Amino acid sequence: MTVIKGGMGGPKDKNPMDNVDLTHAKDIICEKCECRGFKQTLMLKKLSALLSPTGREAIIPVAAFACEACGHINKEFQEADIRPSN
């Protein structure tokens, strides 16, 4: 899944979504209650000391979207690619 990040509204920030026809886009709904509203939240991942670059256990926050009505996080958000972009 690709998340398209737009500019912050400044004159030099061009939003790649400006020329996209969203009438052909599919709505994402909550798998649990079928609500269409989502809020940004954080999931926490625990990284073992063996895999951590510091050699110490780490807790890493990962951004996700939760249903506004019931708080459920859809599977597609839980399994999203969280590798940092270079």
Q: Tell me if 10 is assigned to some domain.
A: no
User: Quick one: which H or E segment has residue 65?
Assistant: strand 58-67
Q: Tell me if 53 is assigned to some domain.
A: yes
Q: Tell me if 54 is assigned to some domain.
A: yes
Q: List C-alpha distances in Å: 74 to 37, 47, 49, 82.
A: 12, 22, 29, 15
Tell me the pLDDT tens digit for each residue of 28-52: 999 999 999 999 999 999 999 999 9
Q: Tell me if 17 is assigned to some domain.
A: no
Q: Tell me if 34 is assigned to some domain.
A: yes
pLDDT, greater one: 9 or 49: 49
Q: Tell me if 55 is assigned to some domain.
A: yes
pTM, two decimals, is 0.66
Q: Tell me if 73 is assigned to some domain.
A: yes
Instruction: Tell me the residue range of the domain where 64 lies.
Output: 28-78
Tell me the pLDDT tens digit for each residue of 55-65: 999 999 999 99
Confidence band (pLDDT; 50, 70, 90) for 22?
Answer: confident
Residue 3 is predicted with a pLDDT of 54
56 vs 47: CA distance, rounded Å: 9
Number of domains in the chain: 1
